[in-house]
Every structure is written in C-alpha cells, then in structure tokens.
Chains A and B, each alone.
Chain A
Amino acid sequence: MTRTHYLNVQYGFRSWLLTKDHKRIALLYLASITLFFFLGGAFAVMVRLELVTPPGDLMQAETYNRMFTMHGVMMIFFFLIPSIPAVLGNFLVPMMIGARDLAFPRVNLLSWYLYIIGGVFALVAAVSGGVDTGWTFYTPYSSTYSNSAVIATAVGVFVAGFSSILTGLNFIVTIHKMRAPGLTWFRLPLFIWAHYATSVIQILGTPVLAITIVLLAAERLAGVGIFDPKLGGDPILFQHLFWFYSHPAVYIMILPGMGVISELVTCFSRKKIFGYGFIAMSSVAIAVLGFLVWAHHMFVSGQSIYASMVFSVLSFLVAVPSAIKVFNWTATLYKGSIVYMTPILYAFGFIGLFTIGGLTGLFLSTLAIDVHVHDTYFVVAHFHYIMVGGAVMAYLGGIHFWWPKISGRMYPEGWARFSALVLFVGFNLTFFPQFLLGYLGMPRRYHAYPEEFQVLNVMSSAGASILGVGYLIPMVYLVWSMRYGKPAPDNPWGAKGLEWTTSSPPVTENFEQTPVVTEEAYVYQVEEEAPVG
C-alpha cells in the first residue's frame, strides 16, 4: 500500500498543467529548463566545433554570430536565471519556512506559463534563423541593421522577464509574511537569505530590461532613432539601460548558488556554518552593491572616463561580500567531519572555480587591464568560471542533495561522483585555456583566429566534449532513479532544516501541522571531539 504524496495524489496532464502546488511547479520548471540547457548546449557545440580550426570553415561568419548569440540568450534567460530559484527555490522556500505553499500559488503557475511563452518565442526565433547581435543586443546594430529575428527574441526575453519578476515577488512576500512561529530572520536557512536577496534584484532590475526591450523594439519597428546617432540618439544610453539590469542579473544567477553551497557545506562538514550573520548580510550586500557597478561592462564604449573611474572603484567593492562567503565556507570546512558525498564534491568545485572566476573579475574591474582584455576570451573565461564552474555546479549539487526529498529516491552515488569528476575535468580543460587565449589577444565572437591560437582552442573544444558527457550522465541516472532508485528515507543526509522533517517525497500540504521553530539554524554536532593538548 503506497503512501499518498504530492507526486501520486493526482495523475494526468491537467493535474500537472493546472497545478497550484509549488512542488509540482518546480518540476515543471525542471523539465523545461533542462530542455533549454541542452538547446543552449547544442549551440555551444556548434561554436566549439567551428573553433577547432583557425579558418572559419565550418560556417559563415553570419551563421557563427547566430550560434553564439542563441547560446547566450538561451543559457542566460532560459536556463541560468530561472534555474535554482524556479526549481530548487520553488520547491524548498515554503518547506524551509514551514509553510504549506508560496503566498501566491496561482501567480507561481502563471510564472511558469510566462516562461514557456517566452521560451516559445525564443524557439521561434531559433528556427527562423536565430539572432546575430550577441546576447547583449547592442544598438544600432540590433535596432536598425541586423537582419535576424531580433523582435521574436526580444519578445521572448521580455515575457520571460516577467516570469522572473513574479517569482521574485512571490518569494519576497512569502519570506516576509509566512514564516513559521519562532522562525525569526536570523534563524532562517542561508538558502532563504540568498533567495530573498535574489528576489530583490529580480524586482528592482528586471523591469529596466523590460523597458529597454520596449525601446529597442520601438526603434526597430517604427524606424525611429532612440539610440541612433543620426537622429540624435545615443547608443551608449542603450548600454546603460541594458547593463543596469544585466549586471545585477549575474547576481541573480550566482546568489542562489551561493545559498545552495552554504547548505551543502554545513551539512557535509557536520558543523554549524561559520559566520552565519556575515553570510546572510553578504547576500544582501551583493544584491545592493550589484546595482552600482554596471558600467564596468562599458569601459571602452565611449562613456565618460570619469564615469569609468567611479564604476571601477565600485566594482572592487562588490568583490568583498563574495570573498567573505568563500572565507566562511572554508572556515566551516576546516576541522569539520567531512563526508565526501556527491553534493559536497560539487561544493568543492564551486568554491575553487568561483574563486578563480571572482578574482579574474577584479582584473576586469581594473581599467587599464580591461582595455587590453575587453571583448577577448579572457572575459568569456571569467564569466564561464562563475556561471558554469559556479552556478551550474551549485545547481547540480543542490539537485543531488535534495533529490531524495524531491523524488523519494536515492540517485546512484558511484555514477554521481564519477560525473562530478568528469565535469570538473571537462570544465577546466574547456575554460582555462580561454584565459590564456584572451590574454594573448584572441577576440570573442570571432569564428576565425590566427594559427598560433589553435592548440589552446583544440584543448578548449576537447574539454567541451568531456563537459557534454559529464552533463548527460546525470540526466540518465536521475531519470533512471525515479523508477529504480532506492527509496529514500525522510532525511538521508541527517541534515538540519524544516524540509527534512517532512516525508520523502512530501505530501501536498508539506506539513501535517505548522511547525514551531525553537532553535538556530544548523545545530550540528561535530562527531569527533578535537584532540586535547
């Protein structure tokens, strides 16, 4: 006799497509973002294939432009931005605070439908030849001269943006208003702090992207010069408006991952996290400071040098809270009783790779260096270290950690550790050479390059194929585990947190009774006392 839980309480398409259960909506997102991840990955395959040889011999330059653009657009707007918040956040936020659901379940479902509609526009753009402007859509090329599916893509991003805004809105209200009795702010899991900070960014930043897209579309459709110098417009104005969102957007992509890492590090060190208050406040600091640095993407655009100086200084500041987190995670691991399961392997990968990515960000904030490496593969390597070495690793670590709770099954630990290793090797082989390429002068977004760069490019493309394998293996075993995996206990990791007090998988209402919280977060005991003397 099987227990009733959220997965089997009702069957059929309608029960999924019209669900208001945050856990089912999380799974709807899981399926759809996985699709876009592999689509975005397919475009990356095309890019790396072309770059195996110096001449542009696999495709025309114009076609290549569409490949890297679609790769960027799909990965950023349809994979990374939703990923952790829409899958893990949707699933866990109510559970971690002892609630039955988010504040606005129907708005949550609407968020998913908006995401799907946006995604359909992106797919339409892809099949009608794609966009060739780069994911940054700089004007006047995107608004006047490009002969590609700019409007379709812009509409897709606009609609997906509102999906993001509504998710952020839901989280903010839920976290403020629906915490269980006794769950004060400083007893919240750090995953919640991270998602709260992320949601603030989504609310205050995304609408600016939305209006920028409106302006871009107006210029393109009506033939009027909003950013066109011929009609008195300023192309740099577009960049200001675009990056005002798109820089904070990178914090939307990384903050939730940092929240996951905090959870993994404390659980697998069997130790209360070091510096809880600092980590919580650093999430807020990143959200705020992240809005003050956007023009570091524009150092060579033609903006005023004085503005560049201001933004350079501010960009140095924003590294501080991220560094604080890395110190605190390290201090937590130090003298912890580390259990080397798959989730902590991903966390290790994150900490190392994010640190490299973050430090190279400081190089880029330095005006003189940036003039040299702007628009080269140095920048490409920097952001892939953070987005892939950081965010995607955190996402996979989180998926594995909470998989027993989500699916009621254990994944096969052997295969999982193997994939984590494959990913780590593949990732570094793909992206480390790109730091060197960029420093040596190879520009980004070029389909051909001088002979002397071939060795590093071949290494990078080889790494990409390993990376691809590393992503495919978990797809296979996670799906396999849903049917054949060992049934999971309620709390396989012995982790702290309200979500682990529910059954695996949970019932639709999460809790039979609203829990009452009486202790701090992460009250773990270190199993072995440190030797005395």
Chain B
Amino acid sequence: MADIAHPAELAHQFEDMDQQLDSSVFGMWVFLAQEIMFFGGLFVAYTIYRGAYPEAFREASHHLDLRLGGFNTVVLIASSLTMALAVRAAQLGQRAAIVANLLLTLALGSVFLAVKAYEYHHKYVEHLVPGLGFSFEGSHPANAQMFFVFYFLMTGMHALHMVVGAGLLLYFIHKARRGVYHAGYYGPVEIMGLYWHFVDIVWIFLFPMLYLIG
C-alpha cells in the first residue's frame, strides 16, 4: 500500500526514492561506460586501418555525401536538445511539455534514420556495399572496401542503437501521456535522456571520422 513514506513508484529493494533515483542513474552510467568500450573497439579497429591506408580511405570517404552527413549531425544534436528539455519538463512535472519534447525527439530521430536509409540505398545503387556487389574504381579497391566495411558497421551499429532508442521513446511517450512522470518520479525519463545523449555523442565522433577526411 502506498503512502508518504512508500510511494507507489518505490521498488521494494530501495529504502527511499532518492536511493532509487541515484541507483537508476548510476546504473545507466555504468551501462554507458560499457557502451564506450563497445563502440570503442570499432573505433580502434577503424583508426588502425585508416592509419595504414590514408589515401584509400580519403578517396573512399569522398563518396559519402557531406551535406547529408552534416544535416544529420544538426538533426541529431537538435534531438538531444529536445530530449534534454523533455527531462527538464519531467523534473518539473509538466506533462504536456514532456510529451511534446519526447515527440519532437522521436521525430528528429526518425528524420535522421530516414536520411541514413536514403544514404544506404544510394550506396547500394553505387555498388559500394561490401558483400553486395562491391565495386570501386580507384587506386586501392581492397582498402577502399575496408573503409566501407567500417562505414556500414559503425553507422549501422549506431543506427541500431537509434532504433532501440526510438522504440524506447514510444514507450516513454505512452507513459508520459498517462501522467506517470512527475517531480517526485522522473528517473526513467532521465535515464532515457542519458542513453539518447550517448548515442548522439557516438555520432559526434562518427561524423568527422567518416565524412570529414580531408
């Protein structure tokens, strides 16, 4: 039975809401530390090959559309803004603002994914998808293929995380509309925010690494 000392949202293993919020946020940070190592492994492998084949990677990178990459960067950072505002609204218990900002975040994230899908399709048409009829006219086709292997793996893994994020956003929008989050219970929205910002940070590194090689 819920009462002042034991709000309905307090899980039985915790002493109070503060401990619950603290633990949840810390738990998400520990998860993100693990994600740093997960993406990090990819980044390290990419960096080593880029160091070995600078010319081939540069050449291959020119086949990426800088305008689309730049546009997506702006879109994703904007979605981080709206996500941060959603968390703030949750801290203040402003139901309408929570929902609106989460919806905006979802919309911007979807735009990002749509652009990515368009880019992927374009690469497929240009025969630049390794394993699917890859063919590159340049000085080092094998090494250029390595670039594209990592392009697809890195942006693909990132996109997968965004799809998961989008799914979570739908869940949170649903809950927020029912007034579940308020000043005394907003932890879930905060940890959603942490996850979303992390995915944004991955892109902040991916963009220059893949699109801006000279």
Contact = CB atoms under 8 A, between A and B. Distances in A.
Interface of A: 94, 99-105, 107, 165, 169-170, 172-173, 176-178, 203-208, 210-212, 214-215, 218, 221-226, 230-234, 237, 241, 244, 509, 514
A222 B11 CA distance: 46
Interface stretch (B1-9, B24-32, B98-106): B24-32
B118 to A, nearest CB: 22
B26 A232 contact: no
A224 B45 CA distance: 15
Nearest to B40: A208
B21 to A, nearest CB: 10
B152 to A, nearest CB: 9
B34 A241 contact: no
Interface stretch (B46-54, B89-97, B193-201): B46-54
Contacts of B19: 177-178
Given A100-B13, A178-B19, A214-B157, A224 B145 contact: yes
Contacts of B11: 105
Contacts of A244: 41
A231 B153 contact: no
A208 B22 CA distance: 27
B23 A514 contact: no
B interface, size bucket: 35 or more
A232 B49 contact: yes
Nearest to A165: B34
- B interface SS class: helix
B35 interface: yes
Contact of A101 (B12, B22, B132): B12
B146 A103 contact: no
B114 interface: no
A55 B6 CA distance: 71
Contacts of B145: 224-225, 231
Nearest to B56: A232
Interface centre among A211, A237, A244, by most chain B C-beta atoms within 10 angstroms, is A211
Nearest to A230: B142
A359 to B, nearest CB: 31
A232 B146 contact: yes
A509 B14 CA distance: 12
B38 interface: yes
Contact of A211 (B15, B23, B38, B131): B38
B180 interface: no
A212 B41 contact: yes
Contact of B45 (A177, A204, A206, A241): A241
B149 A226 contact: yes
Given A211-B41, A232-B143, A173 B30 contact: yes
B48 A234 contact: yes
B170 interface: no
Nearest to A222: B131
Contacts of A207: 34-35, 37-38, 40-41
